């Protein structure tokens, strides 16, 4: 398996860095696991933020964080498969997320489930996967996140989609997966975090072959109809943040990879080449 390391710069911010907590709404199969690992590593070094990942459940009340769950006097990076308004009760919060083209996201999720179940597409057909997702109220998953109906027995209809579109406006930044590195660079730069050298997490070399058939695509179009609408709306967002070669960037670099174990410290450029020669 080829291991690719990518460098994402944190641009030097001439203005004051943001002094807020961060809420990252993690939509499945949109690169969120790598985001989580990156910031867990960064905060283990900097000690300036507390990382908290929540799981959506009946015990977690939508839009309610109790004093037992977080200390409101501290700064947090909050992540999880949660609704858009999970952190609305926090006053000083930066809300962000990443979305993925629905066909690509659903197919990626299906292949991951085949892998997790240690089975094959022949034994676990795509139709069965979709049926289970619908039964679990995970159809139109992107829309459910943004509408506040994640895992709820609620039919997604036109007015729910319109509400979800309106709720995207409450976010400070939403990027598509194609611009994932740009999204990461923006967060690093706005908050004065170090630059990152990373490789992806939850990357798997599958021992099976799957190519979607026409009927599989039709199922996605049917059960994720509103996700296509949300996705198209988000692609119209104008994210003004850009990475330019001439920008000054943070020379302190955090290395985050599932394949290389490194110390909990920041590295300089000249140290990294020596490090990987040893590895």
- Write phi, then psi, for 130 (nearest 5 degrees): -65, -45
How confident is the prediction for the chain on average, in pLDDT?
91
DSSP per position, 91-146: SSEEEEEEE--HHHHHHHHHHHHHHHTT--TTTS-HHHHHHHHHHTT-TTHHHHHH
Q: Let me know if residue 168 belongs to a domain.
A: yes
> Domain with 239 in it: what CATH number?
3.40.50.300
Q: 89 with 97: CB under 8 angstroms?
A: no
Dihedral, CA of residue 222, residue 224, residue 225 and residue 229, to nearest 10 = -160
Q: Let me know if residue 119 belongs to a domain.
A: yes
Q: Let me know if residue 18 belongs to a domain.
A: yes
pLDDT of 105: 98
Residue 72 has pLDDT above 70, yes or no: yes
- Give the range of the structural domain holding residue 177, as residue numbers without chain letter: 6-278
Q: In the chain, how many domains are there? A: 1
Give pLDDT tens digits for 8-26.
999 987 677 899 999 999 9
Q: Let me know if residue 74 belongs to a domain.
A: yes
Residue 244 has pLDDT above 80, yes or no: no
pLDDT of 151: 86
Q: Let me know if residue 39 belongs to a domain.
A: yes
Q: Let me know if residue 1 belongs to a domain.
A: no
Q: Let me know if residue 217 belongs to a domain.
A: yes
């Amino acid at each position: 398996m080829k291991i690719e390391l990518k460098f994402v710069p944190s641009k030097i911010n001439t203005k004051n860095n943001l002094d807020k907590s961060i809420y990252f709404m993690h939509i499945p199969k949109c690169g969120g696991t790598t985001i989580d690992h990156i910031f867990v590593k960064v905060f283990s070094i900097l000690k300036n933020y507390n990382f908290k990942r929540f799981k959506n459940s009946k015990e977690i009340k939508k839009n309610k964080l109790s004093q037992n769950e977080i200390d409101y006097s501290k700064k947090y990076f909050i992540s999880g498969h949660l609704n858009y308004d999970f952190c609305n009760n926090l006053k000083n919060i930066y809300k962000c997320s990443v979305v993925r083209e629905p066909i690509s996201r659903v197919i990626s999720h299906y292949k991951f489930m085949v892998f997790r179940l240690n089975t094959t597409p022949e034994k676990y057909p795509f139709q069965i996967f979709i049926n289970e997702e619908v039964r679990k109220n995970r159809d139109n998953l992107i829309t459910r996140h943004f509408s506040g109906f994640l895992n709820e027995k609620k039919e997604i209809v036109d007015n729910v989609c319109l509400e979800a579109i309106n709720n995207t406006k409450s976010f400070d930044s939403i990027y598509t997966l194609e611009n994932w590195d740009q999204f990461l660079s923006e967060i690093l730069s706005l908050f004065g975090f170090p630059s990152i050298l990373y490789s992806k997490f939850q990357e798997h070399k599958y021992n099976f072959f799957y190519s979607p058939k026409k009927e599989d695509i039709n199922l996605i179009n049917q059960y994720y109809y509103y996700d296509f609408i949300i996705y198209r709306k988000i692609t119209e967002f104008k994210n003004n943040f850009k990475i330019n070669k001439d920008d000054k960037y943070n020379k302190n670099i955090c290395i985050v990879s599932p394949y290389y174990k490194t110390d909990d410290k920041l590295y300089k450029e000249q140290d990294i080449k020596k490090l990987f020669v040893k590895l």
